[in-house]
Chain A
Amino acid sequence: MTSAALKPGLFRPNLVRQAQAWLLLLPALIFLLAFTHLPTVSTVWNSFFSTSAGTPVDFSTENYQFLLEDEVFCQVLDNSFWYAVVTVPASMALALAMALWVNSKLSGKAALRLAYFTPTILPMISVANIWLFFYSPEIGLFNQILEWFGSDGYNWLGDPDLSLPSLMVMTIWKEAGFFMIFYLAALQAISPELYQAAEIEGASRFRMLRRITLPLLMPTTLFVLVNAILNAFKLVDHLFILTKGGPNNASNLLLYYIYENAFSFFDTAYAAALTVVLLMILVVLALLQFGVLERRVHYR
């Protein structure tokens, strides 16, 4: 009724609505521009127009050439790849298993949920400080447990073959509880009628999981996957405490290497080039996830 009344009015209502929408979006847009888009552009700019000495120069690909020569960069890239490939699926699978477990009818599930969620509440730095002592070869928890089984134990963080896997284990432990919450919420949103119907049809539990639960969880899975992959590249707090990327860069990750270059070496130009690489990786991954995976996701 109102829209019909306005139709022959003095100004076009469409324009007003558009302006209103833009005004509502404006605050968020300003922040997004100031803190995300402008820094991105200036990073790309710096990676081409400055050098290690910190002086502005004409267009130069020197920083990118150094990427190719830099052995540490290759190793860091390799580490980051394995770190993501292992921690993302492992923490997601664990999260799903835990969610299914605490969603079932069992006594004391509130306590169990809390227990699984606790790692997420703790700050990464304090967790790392605790795990530093867990991993410590002489006095650490892990080696003391291994001792009961007659093992000599390992120098977890001091052995180049073990330091990255050690970081992975801690990450999986930390991340799984967080993702469990999303899965749990999604599980509780699935209508019980579907399961009742399946039961009448005589479907097995495994079949119900495969044909009802997992497909209906797909939107959540995509969301969790995006977050897990982002975190795999974004979360490096524990490196500061546990290994500082050592020994000899065996556990160094891309974002930590960027930090080292920018703040330990004051080489902001090279750090900018590294950041562009990280950005490209994340863009490609995002395109893959939303372009390919999203089509397979079933939304209700």
Chain B
Amino acid sequence: MLRKKSLLAGVLAAGLSAFAQAKTDLTMYYPVAVGGPLTKVVDGMIEAFEKQNPDIDVTAIYAGNYNDARVKALAALKSGKPAQLSVMFSIDVHELMDLDAIVPFDEVVSSDQDRQWLNSFYPALMENGKVAGKTWGVPFQRSTIVMYYNKDMFRTAGLDPEQPPESWDELVSMGKKLTKKSGSGKVEQWGAMIPSTGYPYWMFGALTKQNGQVLMNQAGNQTYFNDPAVVDALKYWQSLGNDHQIMPKGTIEWGTLRQNFLDQKTAIMWHSTGNLTAVKKNAAFDFGVAKLPAQKELGSPTGGGNFYLFKKSSPEERKAALKLVKFMTSPEQAANWSIATGYMGVSQDAYNTSELSAYVQQFPPAAVARDQLQHATAELSTHQAGRVRKLLDDAIQATLSGQKSAEDALNSAQKQADRILKRYR
């Protein structure tokens, strides 16, 4: 009898300890769209989270660029080994909803404290994540486009290095001074470069916003590609290469642009703020970062990745996932992430931390993206976003490479976009 009892106790104890060790497993995919060892930074953050939460086990999988991350997360979802959360493109929201893949955060948060957290982010960063009154995406690696410029070249050209171009006209006039040709007429140094591969629609979103027009409505079922202000914006972009010759003709490669800037082949580049830390580390010259110039107004689209919660998950998993998202977007982590990458701190609280406020003070360019937020607009995001985006990308590239006029290209893109989006109206 006694022996039986001790046996029972042993079994109970074993069971209890097993219970205590029961971990919630989370799988998360995340993309990296700019160069640099960002995966290490993410791994470090995940490790810190696991140390704080020994009952949660996180597998964070680096999944390539934004497109790859979405493909992999959705493939995992279909294969029955799903992820519970992922960082994906902020503009994937309509498609993820159409696929019934995600749940809004409003359904997962429970306490007032959680709801307060959900309201703590910069409103401009929530624009792409909010649809039909609910929050589907929480900002993580978010950016705007900023203007990097080579102060040394400004000095050589007789320009004030503290006065970067503030308007479209100034960009042209300064660009002309900054463009240098060799004796044979070959351009050795370009005035400016705006990348037109990879994410041409994103750069274009900045130009149209500056010209006072957005590219789509919030419901994501109407685009304004052939609006006169949009057409003019594309004409301006094309004129930089064709008429003013301060930018190379044809398309400019997104992936090699940073190297062009670092090798001093261009005085100005427009690029994601996510490149900031890499430029800071590698630039052998004095550089500055500024808001993009204005035409009718200042403007840039926001960009980058949001956290999404997947529908196929148990209540415990959702709770753990929420915990992870809260950790990753907490002021301390956001500050640490922003310093390591150049991406924005996603909330005002992040900039109030001692680390980030000290960093911004000794390196003011780190605040440009944040200061630009009040002029920011949502990134192009519609139903069937991939196809619609490609229509605009093709129109931009066709114009820049001289195959079509801006009007023709954008009219045709709008017509095809209308055909696709009709059934979502």
A residues neighboring B (CB under 8 Å): 53, 72, 132-133, 136-139, 147, 150, 152-153, 155, 157-160, 241, 243-244, 246-250, 260, 263-267
Beyond A159-B401, A246-B197, whether A139 also contacts B260 by CB under 8 A is yes
Q: Which of B71, B249, B259 contacts A136 (CB 8 A)?
A: B259
Q: Given known contacts A132-B256, A263-B67, A265-B387, is B265 in contact with A247 (CB within 8 Å)? A: no
Contacts of A266 in B (CB 8 A): 95, 99, 384, 386
- Supposing A132-B256, A243-B197 touch, asked if A155 and B397 sit within 8 A by C-beta, the answer is no
Question: Are the C-beta atoms of A147 and B186 separated by less than 8 Å?
Answer: yes
Q: Which 5 A-B pairs have the closest CB atoms?
A: A158-B250, A247-B397, A158-B251, A138-B265, A264-B386
Q: Which residue of A132, A139, A158 contacts B401 across the interface (Cβ within 8 Å)?
A: A158
Asked if B400 is at the interface (CB within 8 A of a chain A CB), the reply is yes
Contact, CB under 8 Å: B386 / A136: no
Q: A interface, by DSSP: helix, strand, loop or mixed?
A: loop
What's the least CB distance linking A266 to chain B, in Å?
Answer: 7
- B249 in complex: contacting residue of A150, A155, A244, A260, CB < 8 Å: A155
A158 touches B252 (CB 8 A): yes
- Given A136-B260, A138-B190, A157-B253, are A249 and B394 also a contact pair (CB < 8 Å)? yes
Whether B397 and A246, one on each chain, are in contact in the complex, defined by CB atoms closer than 8 angstroms, is yes
B280 CB to nearest A CB, Å: 20
Alpha-carbon separation in the docked complex, A86 to B395 (Å) = 28
Interchain CA distance A248-B253 in the complex, whole Å = 13
CA–CA, A246 to B259, complex, Å? 21
Are A247 and B186 CB-contacts (below 8 A) given A264-B386, A266-B386? no
CA distance A157 to B71 in the complex (A): 26
Q: Chain A residues with Cβ under 8 A from B393's Cβ?
A: 246
**Binary contact track B173-186/A, C-beta < 8 Å → 1, others 0:** 00000000000111
> Number of contact residues on B: which range applies?
35 or more
Residues of B within 8 A of A244 (CB): 197-198
- Which of B250, B259, B266, B423 is close to A247, meaning CB atoms less than 8 Å apart? B250
- The reply to whether B250 and A159 form a contact with Cβ atoms under 8 Å apart is yes
Q: Are B256 and A247 in contact (CB under 8 A)?
A: no
Please state if B186 and A152 are interface contacts (CB–CB under 8 Å). yes
| Pair A260/B398 contact, Cβ less than 8 Å | no
Complex CA–CA separation, A132 to B197 (angstroms): 13
Determine how close the nearest CB of chain A comes to the CB of B136; give it in whole angstroms. 17
- Decide if A132 touches B387 in the complex (CB within 8 Å): no
A132 touches B250 (CB 8 A): no
B288 within 8 A of A: no
Other A-B pairs, 14, CB within 8 Å; known A158-B250, A243-B197: A132-B255, A138-B266, A139-B256, A147-B186, A152-B186, A155-B249, A157-B251, A158-B252, A160-B250, A244-B198, A246-B394, A248-B401, A263-B71, A264-B386
Report B's interface with A, CB cutoff 8 A: 67, 71, 95, 99, 184-187, 190, 196-198, 248-253, 255-256, 259-260, 263, 265-266, 384, 386-387, 390, 393-395, 397-398, 400-401, 403, 423
Are the C-beta atoms of B95 and A264 separated by less than 8 Å?
no
Shortest Cβ distance from B252 into A: residue: A158
Residues of chain A within 8 A (CB-CB) of B95 are: 266
6 example contacts (A-B, Cβ-Cβ < 8 A) are as follows: A138-B263, A158-B251, A246-B397, A248-B395, A260-B390, A266-B95
Report B-chain residues with C-beta under 8 Å of the C-beta of A267.
387
Shortest distance from the beta carbon of A108 to any chain B beta carbon, whole Å: 36
Bound state CA distance, A165 and B387, in angstroms?
Answer: 26
* Contacts known (A158-B251, A158-B252); A247 close to B386, Cβ less than 8 A: no
Q: Is the CB of A265 within 8 A of B197?
A: no
Contact status B401-A138, CB under 8 Å: no
Contacts of B71 in A (CB 8 A): 263
| Cα distance, A10 to B112, chains bound together (Å) | 84
CB–CB A265/B259 < 8 A: no
Q: Given known contacts A150-B184, A158-B401, A265-B384, is B248 in contact with A133 (CB within 8 Å)?
A: no
Closest A residue by C-beta to B187: A152
Contacts of B397 in A (CB 8 A): 246-248
CB pair B197–A264 under 8 Å, yes or no, is no
Nearest-CB residue, chain A, relative to B256: A136
Do A247 and B197 have beta carbons less than 8 Å apart? Answer: yes
Residues on B with beta carbons closer than 8 Å to the beta carbon of A247: 196-197, 250-251, 397-398, 400-401
Give CA–CA (A212, B186) in the complex, Å.
53
